[in-house]
Structure 1
Amino acid sequence: MGLASMRRGFAVPGLLSLLLSLPIASGAVAQVTPFKQAVAEAAAEDSDIAGFYRENEYAPLWTGTGDGDRARRAELLRAIENAEAHGLPVARYDPAGLVAQLGAVRSERDRGLAEVAMSRVFLQYARDIQTGVLIPSRIDRQIVREIPYRDRGAYLASLNTTAPAALFRGLPPRTIEYNALLKEKLTLERLLAAGGWGPTVQSGTLRPGDTGKEVLSLRNRLISMGFLDRTLTQSYDETMTTAVKSFQLAHGLNQDGIAGPETMRQINSGVETRLQSVIVALERERWLNLDRGDRHVLVNIPDFSARIIDNGKVTFSTRSVVGAARDDRPTPEFSDRMEFMVINPSWYVPRSIVTKEYLPQLKRNPYAVRHIEVTDRQGRKINRGAVNFNNYNARNFPFSMRQPPSHDNALGLVKFMFPNKYNIYLHDTPAKSLFQRDVRAFSHGCVRLADPFEFAYALLAPQSDDPEGLFHAKLNTGRETRVNLEPPVPVHLIYRTAFTNARGQTEYRADIYGRDARIWSALSKAGVALRAYRG
C-alpha cells in the first residue's frame, strides 16, 4: 500500500475535498529511515514533539495508511477549517497550506515533514481551543488568572488512545456557558448579515410620556432587539416603559423605565460590539476551563454581582461594589479558596491607602481621621501628639493604621477571606447607598456586598443547622471572631461583559475597565475577525 492511500477516508466538504484531488505520490512505506530523519529534523526545535516521536519509535500519527491515520487527518483538517466558529484565528493553522503540503508529498522525507507539520498545527489548535489563544497577563496586568494548560505531550499521546472524533469533540470547554455563547455568536453573525438592529436613537434621554421621531427610533430599536412586540404606538407609553425595564434587567441597569444616558448607551450598542463581547467571553471561558467546584462563589466584576453556585445552579445572589476604574484600584481577576469569615473585623488599612491618602492628612493635622488608630510595629496604639508626621514620607513612614470593629468600620460587620497576595476579599460596608447606582465601581479593589449577612448564612448552611443563629451569636459579642468554612469554598473573580442567565438568554454589561476592548484588540491582531453569516 503506497502513500496514495492516504487520500482514502477524506469525505468531507471544503478544504478536505480539495485534498482528494491533490496528487500524493506513492512510495515504499518500508523505507522508514528517511521518514524518521525528517521527523527528527523537523521536530528538533520542539522538545515535546521530538520527545513524543522518539518515545514512540517515530511511528506516524497522521500520514500513515491505516484507518486511524486517515480519521485523525480528517478530524484535524475539519477542526481547523471550522475554527472560526469558536472565535479562533483560522490563519494561525493555515488549513490550505497544510492541505497543499500533504498534496505535495513525493517522498518519505516529504511525508516526515508533513507529519510534524500536522502535529504542530494540532498542538496549537488544541491549546487554543482548550485554554485560550492569548496569555491574559500580557493583555492586562490585573488579569492574574493562572491558566490550566495541559501537557503537550499528553495531547499527542491521547491521539493513540482516543477515537479521533471523540478527542476533537472533547477539546473545547465542556460547559453550558461555552455552548450558549457559541449559539449567541451564530445568532449575532446572522443579525450582522441582516443589517443589525437598525438606526440608533439620537436622543440622550427619553421618558414615559415623550413623543416624537426619537421615540419612534427607540420603539423600532426595541422591536428589533426582541424587547417589544410589533406596535404602531407613537408615544413612550406603558408598553414601551415595560420594554425598557426588560431591557434594563437584561443589561444590569436599575429598572426605572427611563431611557437615561446609561440605558441609551446600551440600547445604541451595535451588533458588532455585542459580537466582540461574545468572542471575548469565549476566550475567557477557555481561560477558566477547569473544575470550578460543585459549590463555588462567582464574582462577575462588570455585572457588579456575587453569587453562590451549587451544582450548576445559582442558590444565592447579591449586588456588589467593585474596584474603581483607576490604575491603582481595579479588582483583579483570579481564582482562590474562601477559607474563613471574620465577624466584627478590624480594618487593617493597606499601606498604599495609608501613605497616599492618610499621611498627607496627618501632616496637616495629626488628629485627622480620628476613627482610625495609628499603631506601631507591635500593633500598639500610639500617641499622635508625640509624632511629627512631617518627618515622614511614603517610603519611611514607620506606622500602620487600624480601624477597630464597629458599625462604621470600612469593612462593615463581616469580611470573607481567601488569603491572596493581592489583598482582595469580600466584605460588608456601611456605604449602602452605592448599591443603588447603575455603575458600582468605587472601592479600592475589594468587593463590597449588598447582603453580607445573608451571604454568610448561605456559606454557613452546609456546616450548621442554624447558620443565622451561629452568625449572630458571634456578631453579638462585638469581638473580632474568625469562623472557618468547612470545607473551604472555591471563589472565582471573573470579568464577563457577555454571559448567559438562568433562562438561557445572553445578557450584556459595560466594559468598565476596558479589559475586553484590549482582549479584542489582541485577538484581532492574532487573526480573529468578525463575520456576517448567512447560513
Structure 2
Amino acid sequence: MTLGMGAAAPALVTLMAPSPAVAQQFPAFRQALAEGVAENRELAAFYRENGYQAIWTGAEDAARRTALVSALSRAAEHGLPEARYDLPGLIAAFEAVETERDRGLLEARASMTFLQYARDIHSGVLEPQALIPDIVRVLPRPDPTELMRDFTSGEPVSFIRNLAPSSPEYARLYRARQELVQTIAEGGWGPQVQAGSLRPGDRGEAVIQLRNRLIAQGFLPRIATASYDSLMQQAVQEFQESVGIDADGIAGSATIRAINVDPQERLRAITVALERERWLNIPRGDRHIWVNLTDFVARIVDFDQVTFETRAVVGSRSNQTPEFSDEMEYMEINPDWTLPRSIIGEYWGALSSGGANHLQFVDGAGRVVPREYVNVAAYTPQTLPFEVRQPPGPGNALGEIKFMFPNQYAIYLHDTPSRSLFAQDTRAFSHGCIRLQDPREFAYALLAPQEADPVTYYHAIQRTGRQTRVPLIDHVPVHLVYRTAYTSVTGRMQYRADVYGRDATLYNALVNAGVEVGA
C-alpha cells in the first residue's frame, strides 16, 4: 500500500539524471559507494556483482525510491523502530545531493536502510535469546545479498510489502493494532468500573460503567440499559473467554481487573505479539501443533483452522517451558519415565530411606539393579551412577502416553495421573514438559491420517501394558509459543497474563530499540 510523500516526492521521484559532465565523474560515485558499503560484506558483494550500478539514485530508480519511502513512513504501524531508519534524514540527503561522491554515499545509505528495514519487518527487531535464554528460536534472517538481488529484479512495492510475515495471524494483529491506536487517539474505553464485583440483577453507576466498557471493547451493541441483564451477562461471558477467565457471566474481581486494563497496555501486548510473529516467519506446516504457553492449551491446527484442542499444564515459573519449534516424530504408549537429574533430588530423601519403591535403578546397559544392591547414601543426585526410572503403569508420572519431538531441552507432551490441576485458570505447575488433559483424543487425532480406526488401534496397544513406540508416518511440526496477545479465528483479540514476565522484558527491549508504542 503506497502513501504519498508530500513535498519530498519531487526530490526523490524526479532526481535528475547525470549530465554529461557529471557522468565523466562516475569514478567518484563508484569510489564513494565502495567506501560506503565496505563494512557490510554482503552489500559490498552485491555491488561488486552489479558493477557498482545505482539502484536508488539514478533517474530510472524512482519506483524503488518511492516504494522505500512509503514503507519507511509506515514502519511504526508494524511496531518497528521508525527512528532507526531515519526517513527525514534520508529524504534530506536525497535533496542535498550535489556531487557524484554525495550520490555514491547516498546510494550506500539507502541500501543499508533498506536492508535494516527488510531484516526487521521480515524476522524481527530483537535477538530474543540474548534477552531471554528460554527463547531458543533460530530466526529466519534473510540473506542480504539475495535480498538485494531479488529486490532489484522484482516489482518494488509488492516486494517490500511481501517482506512482512504472510501468516493470517500477522495480518489480524496488524489490523487490531491499527484499530486500537485509533481507539486510544479517540479517548480509549471510557471510565473504569468502580466496583469490586458485579453480578446479574445489579443496577447503578458501576453497572453503567461496565456496560460502557463492554460496548467500547466490542462485546455489547450500543444499548441504554442500566441493569445487569441477560444480554450483559452474555457479553461478560464473551469477555471472560477473551482473557482466559472461567466464563460464568459474573463480573468478579478478576473480571473487573481485566476489563479495567488500560488500552495502552493491550497495545503493548499486541506490539510484542507482532515482533514474536516475525520471529516465526517460517512455514508452520499445513498441519501443526500449536502450544501457547500463556494460554495453557495445546491445539492441532489444519490449514489455519483449529481441529482439536485440549487444556495443558506448562512449566512453573521456576521451571519454565522454553519456546522453540520442532517436529513430532512418534508417540510412546505405556511409557516409562526416566527422571532428569534436576528432578532426582526431589525424591532423594525417599530413595535414601528405602522408599519410593515405584522407582528403579538402571545401569548403563539398561539392566534394572536391585535396590538392595545400591548404597544410595554413598552418592548425591549428581553422582549416582544409575538412571532412576519409573516403569509403565497406572501411576506413571507420564500417564499412558507421551508425544515426542526429540530435542536438547528434554521437553515433550504427555499424559498425567494428576488431573486436578486442569481445573485451574492458570496452569503453570510442571517441571517444563507439557501435560495434556485429553491425551487419548490428542493421539486419536494424530493417528487418524495413518490408521483407519485410530481408537481401536490405540487401545489394542495400550491394553498390552508394554511400552510401545508408534512412529508418525508424516512428522508434525510443533510450535511452543508465548503470546499474551493473539487473535481467535474470528479475528477477536485474546489476551493472557504474562505468566513468566517475558513480554515485559521484550517490550522494554523494543522501546530501547526505538519502538514507540502508540504510534
| TM surpasses 0.5 | yes
2:339 pairs with one of 308, 333, 349: 349
Three-state SS of the structure 2 residue aligned to 1:138 is helix
CA distance in structure 2 between the partners assigned to 1:324 and 1:265 by the alignment: 23
Q: Note if contact 1:15-1:96 (Cα within 8 Å) is conserved in structure 2.
A: no
Q: Note if contact 1:184-1:506 (Cα within 8 Å) is conserved in structure 2.
A: yes
CA distance in structure 2 between the partners assigned to 1:394 and 1:58 by the alignment: 64
1:480 pairs with one of 452, 460, 467: 467
Three-state SS of the structure 1 residue aligned to 2:237 is helix
CA, structure 1 residues 40+185, in 2 after alignment: closer, same or farther (shift >3 Å)?
same
Match in the other structure for 1:330:
320
Once the two structures are superposed, the pairs formed by residues 355-370 of structure 1 within 5 Å of their partners are 355=345, 357-363=346-352, 365-367=353-355, 369-370=356-357
How far residue 113 of structure 1 moved from its aligned partner, in angstroms, is 0.3
How far residue 264 of structure 1 moved from its aligned partner, in angstroms, is 2.9
Q: Note if contact 2:335-2:392 (Cα within 8 Å) is conserved in structure 1.
A: yes
CA, structure 1 residues 21+306, in 2 after alignment: closer, same or farther (shift >3 Å)?
closer
CA distance in structure 1 between the partners assigned to 2:464 and 2:351 by the alignment: 33
Match in the other structure for 1:459:
446
CA, structure 1 residues 349+204, in 2 after alignment: closer, same or farther (shift >3 Å)?
farther
Match in the other structure for 1:93:
85
1:44 aligns to 2:33 (yes or no): no
Match in the other structure for 1:120:
112
2:50 pairs with one of 23, 41, 56: 56
Three-state SS of the structure 1 residue aligned to 2:130 is helix
CA distance in structure 2 between the partners assigned to 1:215 and 1:11 by the alignment: 44
Task: String of CA shifts for 1:483-530, please: whole Å, max 9, x gaps.
Answer: 000111111111111112121212111111111111111111111112
CA, structure 1 residues 43+424, in 2 after alignment: closer, same or farther (shift >3 Å)?
same
Instruction: Name the amino acid aligned to 2:243.
Output: H
How far residue 399 of structure 1 moved from its aligned partner, in angstroms, is 2.6
Q: Note if contact 1:43-1:50 (Cα within 8 Å) is conserved in structure 2.
A: yes
Aligned length: 516
CA, structure 1 residues 441+261, in 2 after alignment: closer, same or farther (shift >3 Å)?
farther
CA distance in structure 2 between the partners assigned to 1:30 and 1:437 by the alignment: 76
Task: String of CA shifts for 1:340-367, please: whole Å, max 9, x gaps.
Answer: 0000111111110013x1224434x231
CA distance in structure 1 between the partners assigned to 2:464 and 2:99 by the alignment: 83
2:416 pairs with one of 402, 406, 429: 429
Q: Percent identity?
A: 52
Q: Note if contact 2:12-2:62 (Cα within 8 Å) is conserved in structure 1.
A: no
Q: Note if contact 2:14-2:59 (Cα within 8 Å) is conserved in structure 1.
A: no
2:494 pairs with one of 488, 494, 507: 507
TM-score by length of 2: 0.94
Instruction: Name the amino acid aligned to 1:199.
Output: P
1:260 aligns to 2:225 (yes or no): no
2:238 pairs with one of 219, 227, 246: 246
CA distance in structure 1 between the partners assigned to 2:344 and 2:13 by the alignment: 72
1:399 pairs with one of 386, 393, 408: 386
Q: Note if contact 1:304-1:440 (Cα within 8 Å) is conserved in structure 2.
A: yes
Match in the other structure for 1:156:
148
Once the two structures are superposed, the pairs formed by residues 273-312 of structure 1 within 5 Å of their partners are 273-312=265-304
Once the two structures are superposed, the pairs formed by residues 309-320 of structure 1 within 5 Å of their partners are 309-320=301-312
CA distance in structure 2 between the partners assigned to 1:494 and 1:302 by the alignment: 8
Q: Note if contact 2:264-2:518 (Cα within 8 Å) is conserved in structure 1.
A: no
| C-alpha RMSD over aligned residues | 2.2
CA distance in structure 2 between the partners assigned to 1:215 and 1:374 by the alignment: 62
2:26 pairs with one of 29, 32, 48: 32
2:159 pairs with one of 142, 164, 167: 167
How far residue 15 of structure 1 moved from its aligned partner, in angstroms, is 6.5
Task: String of CA shifts for 1:206-258, please: whole Å, max 9, x gaps.
Answer: 34445554444333322322223444555544333222211111222221223
2:133 pairs with one of 125, 141, 146: 141
Moved more, 413-422 or 468-477: 468-477
Instruction: Name the amino acid aligned to 2:482.
Output: Y
Moved more, 386-395 or 440-449: 386-395
Q: Note if contact 2:15-2:58 (Cα within 8 Å) is conserved in structure 1.
A: no
CA distance in structure 1 between the partners assigned to 2:443 and 2:7 by the alignment: 56
Three-state SS of the structure 2 residue aligned to 1:39 is helix
How far residue 388 of structure 1 moved from its aligned partner, in angstroms, is 3.8
CA distance in structure 2 between the partners assigned to 1:247 and 1:485 by the alignment: 38
CA distance in structure 1 between the partners assigned to 2:301 and 2:12 by the alignment: 50
CA distance in structure 2 between the partners assigned to 1:508 and 1:295 by the alignment: 24
Gapped runs of 5+ residues in structure 1? 1-9
Q: Note if contact 1:343-1:475 (Cα within 8 Å) is conserved in structure 2.
A: yes
How far residue 204 of structure 1 moved from its aligned partner, in angstroms, is 3.9
Q: Note if contact 1:89-1:529 (Cα within 8 Å) is conserved in structure 2.
A: yes
Match in the other structure for 2:177:
185
Instruction: Name the amino acid aligned to 1:291.
Output: P
